[in-house]
Structure 1
Amino acid sequence: MESSDKNQGRKRFTEIKTFPIPFTLEEGKDLISISNNQPNKTSKETLINQALKFHLKGNLSEAIRYYKYCISHGFNDHKIFSNYGGILKDLGKLKEAELYTRKAIQLKPNYAIAYSNLGIILADLCKLKEAELYTRKAIQLKPDFAEAHSNLGNILKDLGKLKEAEISTRKAIKFQPNYAYALSNLGMILKDLGKLKEAEVYARKAIEIDPHIAMAYSNFGIILRSLGKLKEGEVYARKAIEIDPRIAMVHSNLGIILKDVGKTKEAELSTRKAIKLKPDYADAYFNLSYLELLKGKYKSGLENYEFRFKKKETPSLHGNPIIKRLDNQDLQKEEKILVISEQGLGDTLQYMRYIPYLRNQGFDISFCAQEKLHSLIQASDIDPNPLTPDQSTLVSEGQWIPLLSLPRSLKVTPKNPIISKPYIFSTDELNKKWKQLLSKEKKPIIGINWQGNPKMETTYQGRSIPLEEFSRLFNSNEITMLSLQKGFGSEQLETCSFKNKFVSCQKEIDSTWDFLENAAIIENCDLIITCDTSIAHLAGGMGKKVWLLLKDIPFWTWGLKEESTFWYPSMRLFRQKERHNWYEVMERVSNEIQKEIEDKI
């Protein structure tokens, strides 16, 4: 059982981690002038150079006029088509940009610049694998093409190939050591690799080399956020907007940082500004959904949450169905529906509650989920025969829907939870087994879980709790601990000051990774205290008394203020009143435990 995997694959709040190099242009020669668009006495070569010069000088209106004239008069010059494609790309006309850039390649098949530029366009169209192929072709034609190496790094990052992305971006810097764009991008890739200190070094160097690149400041702000330097990160994010307020990305990134600072109103304004500047900005819509859901605005929040599948980095699905996806949010009873789980184990545990509900409503439902949950799914009567991801590809009838889209289809809100009763169960046999093993304990048993997957700490920083913080729960409290921690963080058991306070069968519990059996262990605890991991959803779904310890700005599921949650009526929320201050939280928890003991838990 991997309690630390709850958020594996989940994008908590989408970050713009790297940014593409501006289109590579070919320079023209001397500028001349034309009048009334009638350059009859002007040579073809001079006109082409004129268009390129206007483009390089930033006079786009004149550049467009010249490009259109050249194209309409049959000037089949590869530079014209490639550079005009660049303008169309910047105007958001990606399909047209793709056509003109492909025409440039057709006119000159060994034109490395056009291959690189086409890679940028395809990446913006979310055709990442094709973008990788064209960018590699550019490098093949021109091995020292620094811009192409850097763009390849961006694409590889979006494909999740971070090590390759790092190598490619370092090559760009090798060919062009003062390449500010590549240095900034490398900083963001290193951040994703968890090399935060090195990331900070490269990000600072990029700004020192060129202090006029707005996105370099914005990216640095995100790196500082990952380092926990939120105030400094906010300063750099605002500087990016000061340099160029027209870039949607910089407003979106500021929104990310403001959300973590706790300025949720400003975060929403900044995110909406990004959308105003770029109406098809999927990442910003997704971030907006996070803010809306965090504030309890479920109708619009769940609608915008669907943008997770329109981002470059879409959530991980546990299946690859060949049937059509159900686009209409209204489910149809007459059609077979395949529900595909997505993201982490905790997400599946939280939302699988709707599978039996839909079946009871007359829907023909099949359910694909992570195999490690299958025994628990069957024992809980969620689905008698859950499908593996491989089996989901064999389904040939009906349509499919992502598991996390069900709340939208069912119009779930805090006032309309649909399912609030316990829906997760272990078997009687396992419950009896662990009841007997734990019967030797004479004090109340508190099951604890303290750490999530470290890979998620860059995007959900601060949710985990050092085990030693739990030592405060023993202040005048006669209790016994039971560790539910698996994998990451369990090594802290060896050095904690209260390692002799755990149940006598702790070693046997540590070797138990099966979710079904761990549900039986939880069933035999008096209380569960956990940070935000899959254990919270497992215990909550069982209807166990569970206390969830939350960082100051938690995941949207838990809202911002309440001490309870409609998701799990048996759950109580303990929130940080001050960022990173677990001491105060544990003092409150300790006091509440004493009250529970007095009431015999």
Structure 2
Amino acid sequence: MEQSDKKDQEKKKITEAKTFSVPFTLGENKENITITTNTSSNPSKEKIINQAFKFHSQGNILEAVKYYQLFINQGFTDHRVFSNYGIILNNLGKSKDAEVSTRKAIELNPGDAEAHYNLGIILKGIGKLQDAVLSYRKAIELNPALADAHSNLANILKDLGKLNEAEVAVRKAIELKPDDANAHLNLGGILKDLEKLKDAESSTRKAIELNPNFAEAHLNLGSILKDLSILNDAEVSTRKAIELNPDFAEAYLNLGGILKDLDKLKDAESSTRKAIELNPALADAHSNLGNILKDLGKLNEAEVAIRKTIKLQSDHADAYFMLSLIELLKENYQSGLENYEFRFTKNGAAIPHGVPKLKRINRIKLKKADKLLVVSEQGLGDTLQHMRYIPYLRNQGLEISFSAQTKLHSLIQASDIDQNPLTPKQSTLVSEGEWIPLLSLARDLEVSPENPIVTQPYICSTEELNKKWKNILSKEKRPIIGINWQGNLGTEKTYQGRSIPLEKFSILKDNNEITFLSLQKGFGSEQLNSCSFKNKFVDCQPQIDRTWDFLENAAIIENCDLIISCDTSIAHLAGGMGSKVWLLLKDIPFWTWGLEREDTFWYPSMKLFRQKERHNWNEVMERVSIALRSFEDVEPNLI
């Protein structure tokens, strides 16, 4: 999983510039002064303040506190005392009192830049970010060379989402103090958020160059390398952070995430459990553990970990979203679809294809004549799967507008889903009614295996295109098996293991008189050039490879005898058409497919072949090959 907001805050806390123990230069104190604080006599202002400064400079904070308080109780005023006392109070966790004391110092000496700087630190600590910005800016106005003020200002601007301003501020800090490892680390974090990952890497490496033992810098470098998909180097960097700080819970947590991406799930589990051992209150660690356990197929343990996350942090959107995936896999659709709404607030939140100006509704009212804009979201397969509800809602009397990916528009029109589908840009211009994300319809319609709502085929091509491809494919040897083996490269990061190397399909040609037809487009299609059974594909394959239009691909599918696919949009397209589909699934698939059934209520014409062992596609293909030999319905039905 991506790092959570809370973890980011922890890192920012670590990398903030430090304040001085005593924020002003103490004059040399040659005399050994001792004051009895409970005496009836009143020591002089100078003796009290000198003794307070002496204890403070020696690190004897408890004694320093006594003298600072005695000084104040005597009614004396000195801006240095109130400023210094404010730092101590803040370090003791008495933030409100620290603020009062520091503001008093500023009242006594408005030109004290460091007092404004210290106030900024206090205000940030109590969440008054806007006020902290004002304090840091005042400190900089009074002393433009105060590098730490620029650096800390950058951190707050980052928290406020003002990343470009934050970059300017931290670069000024570096200009003033080029050897400040903290500032270079802070710049790396800001650049990472700006998605300037290579620059972020350079800045973080500079922090490490300045301070090779900077555990936090090694940790952040590992996080950046993870985002760059340089996973082995990310692992090395994060392990270095742990070597430097063996009790660094956040480093074990990040290492667990990297190991998960490397598909080392057992090691990922161990590392994440270590993070929890070091910091049982680290909500993200429980959440990540739940995610790892889900991928390991330990769903009950995963649910326990996720619920622990929610107990620790009741607004943890990632945890609720992960809980929804577990519930849906278990076919608990009521709660699962409710929690699936957290996809819009989790890290890496789902973004609808278009941002309407209309009010978003929480629930469909199903009142006749209501105007409702439905906006697609996520991948093409999601749109193909859930657009079935558009005609259903229209038949209930609602006035529906449908915004979807442009490349699906011709298919949507031919299928009579919507005769005038909107582009994402056009959806922003709709001025009447309300709107709802497409994948929220299943929740509102209370879809479940017992209540599928729509089971009949709802996607089709045109008669003209069907005839065209019937004529072209009539020259081919039957039966024709359309295959698709590779998912979208971007989705592979979050749905690792769903794709199948094309060569794995070679077993299907043994003992089966079949002809393959590749439905693969883009990434992965290059495997066709080097596969060992290239001669088993239809002669018109080059023409098919040049066909990217979904409407025409639907006509090609219509003229195949069987579709065999991994979990991609092609499976949803064929399933929505009512074509015979054999879907090949990894051991823990996407929530749509559940965990056990060989069929699915989503597509009655689909049969599911599941991995019995993680990564073992050979065994799956053996079963598919046997099924092909006994598949009596695969006949030349299109001649």
For 1:146-174, what per-residue CA distance to the aligned partner results, in whole angstroms no more than 9, with x for missing partners?
44554454455456554454344444444
1:132-147 correspondence to structure 2 within 5 Å: 132-143=164-175, 144=178, 146-147=181-182
| Cα 1:417–1:170 shift into 2, 3 Å | farther
Say yes or no: does 1:317 pair with 2:352.
yes
AA at the equivalent of 2:557:
I
Report the counterpart of residue 211 of structure 1 in structure 2: 246
Amino acid at match of 1:588: R
Q: Deviations over 1:274-299 (max 9, x none)?
A: 22222222222222222222221222
Q: Does the CA contact (< 8 Å) of 1:548 and 1:574 recur in 2? A: yes
Equivalent residue number for residue 150 of structure 2: 112
Equivalent in 451, 461, 480 of residue 445 of structure 1: 480
- CA distance in structure 1 between the aligned counterparts of 2:417 and 2:196, rounded to whole angstroms: 35
How far apart, CA to CA, are the structure 1 residues paired with 2:427 and 2:183? 38
Pairing 1:476-515 to 2, within 5 Å after superposition: 476-515=511-550
Tell me, yes or no, if the aligned pair for 1:37 and 1:69 is still in contact at 8 Å.
Answer: no
Change (3 A) 1:465 1:252: same
State whether structure 2 residue 431 is matched by structure 1 residue 396.
yes
- Does 1:179 find its partner at 2:214? yes
Give the match for residue 65 of structure 2.
33
Gaps of 5+ in 1: 1-12, 89-95, 123-127
Kindly tell me: are residues 438 and 599 of structure 1, through their superposed partners in 2, closer, same or farther at Cα, counting changes over 3 Å? Answer: closer
SS in 1 for 2:401: strand
Aligned residue number for residue 247 of structure 1: 282
- 1:454 is paired with a residue whose SS is coil
1:318 Cα deviation (Å)? Answer: 1.7
RMSD of aligned Cα (Å): 2.6
* Amino acid in the other structure paired with 1:476: N
Deviates more, 1:33-42 or 1:257-266: 33-42
Q: What is the Cα deviation at residue 186 of structure 1? A: 2.4
Other structure's SS at 1:19 match: helix
CA drift at 1:50: 4.0
The amino acid of 2:171's aligned partner reads I
Aligned 1:119-130 pairs, distance under 5 A: 119-122=157-160, 128=161, 130=162
* Cα drift, residue 396 of structure 1: 2.0
- For residues 244-280 of structure 1, give each alpha carbon's deviation from its aligned partner in whole angstroms, at most 9, with x where no partner exists: 1111111111122111111111212212222222222
Q: Distance in 1 between matches of 2:410 and 2:218?
A: 48
Report the Cα offset of residue 535 of structure 1: 0.7
1:83 aligns with 2:121: yes
For the 8 Å contact 1:104–1:114, the answer to whether it is kept is no
Give the whole-Å Cα distance in 2 for the aligned partners of 1:452 and 1:463: 7
Cα distance in 2, alignment partners of residues 175 and 332 from structure 1: 66
Alpha-carbon shift at residue 388 of structure 1 (Å): 1.3
TM-fit CA distance, 1:52: 3.0
What is the identity, as a one-letter code, of the residue corresponding to 1:22? K
Of 448-457 and 168-177, deviating more is 168-177
Residue 190 of structure 1, CA deviation: 2.0
What residue number does 1:432 align with?
467
Matched residues in 2 for 1:136 and 1:564: separation? 57
Most deviating of 263-272 and 578-587: 263-272
> Is the contact between residue 536 and residue 548 of structure 1 (CA under 8 Å) also seen in structure 2?
yes
Q: Which amino acid aligns with 2:116?
A: H
Deviation at 1:504, TM superposition (A): 1.3
Match of 2:43 in 1: none
Q: Is the 8 A contact 1:369 1:389 kept in 2?
A: yes
Structure 2 residue 98 is matched with structure 1 residue 67? yes
| 1:115-169 C-alpha deviation (Å, 9 max, x unpaired) | 23313532xxxxx4x2453354233344445445544544554565544543444
Alpha-carbon separation, structure 1, partners of 2:69 and 2:362? 48
Corresponding position of 2:201: 166
TM superposition shift of 1:27: 3.4
Equivalent-residue separation in structure 2 for 1:208 and 1:170 (angstroms): 17
Displacement of 1:36: 13
Structure 1 residue 544: Cα displacement: 0.9
In the alignment of these two chains, the number of paired residues is 572
Name stretches of at least 5 consecutive residues in structure 2 with no aligned partner. Answer: 23-55, 108-114
Q: 1:420 to 1:49 in 2, by over 3 A?
A: farther
> Do the aligned partners of residues 600 and 305 (structure 1) sit closer, same or farther apart at CA in structure 2, a change above 3 Å counting?
same
Whether the 8 Å CA contact 2:575–2:605 is kept in 1: the answer is: yes
Q: Distance in 2 between matches of 1:49 and 1:137?
A: 26
Which shows bigger deviation, 147-156 or 263-272? 147-156
Alignment partners' CA distance in 2, 1:133 and 1:315: 27
Distance 1:556 1:64 in 2: 47
Q: Does the Cα contact within 8 Å between 1:346 and 1:535 map onto a contact in 2?
A: yes
Q: Given the superposition, is the C-alpha separation of residues 418 and 35 from structure 1 closer, same or farther in structure 2, using an over 3 Å criterion?
A: farther
1:28–1:50 contact (8 Å) kept in structure 2: no
What per-residue deviation string (whole Å, max 9, x for no partner) do you get for residues 60-102 of structure 1? 3xx33532542685856434443334433xxxxxxx4324423
Distance apart, 1:477 and its partner CA: 1.1
Q: Which residue of 281, 284, 288 maps to 2:316?
A: 281
Partner of 1:19: 8
If asked which structure has higher relative contact order (CA below 8 Å, sep 6+), I would say 1
- Counterpart selection for 2:620 from 562, 585, 592: 585
Write the letter of the residue equivalent to 1:40: N
Q: Cα 1:245–1:139, aligned 2, differ >3 Å: closer, same or farther?
A: farther
TM norm structure 2: 0.83
SS at match of 2:523: coil
Within 2, Cα distance between the matches of 1:411 and 1:157?
41
Describe the superposition over 1:352-381 as per-residue Cα deviations: whole angstroms up to 9, x where unpaired.
Answer: 111121122111221111111111111111
**Structure 1 pair 142–506 and aligned structure 2 pair: CA distance change class (3 A):** same
Is the Cα contact below 8 Å between 1:340 and 1:368 reproduced in 2?
A: yes
Residues 460-479 of structure 1: pairs in structure 2 closer than 5 A:
460-479=495-514
Mean Cα deviation higher: 78-87 or 550-559: 78-87
Larger Rg: 2
**Gap change, CA 1:85 and 1:325, over 3 Å in 2:** farther
Greater Cα shift, 324-333 or 562-571: 324-333
Residues 1:412 and 2:447 aligned together: yes
Q: Letter of the aligned partner of 1:19 in structure 2? A: D
In the aligned structure 2, how far is the partner of 1:82 from the partner of 1:426?
64
Bigger shift: 327-336 or 396-405?
327-336
Measure the CA separation in 2 of the matches of 1:44 and 1:34: 17
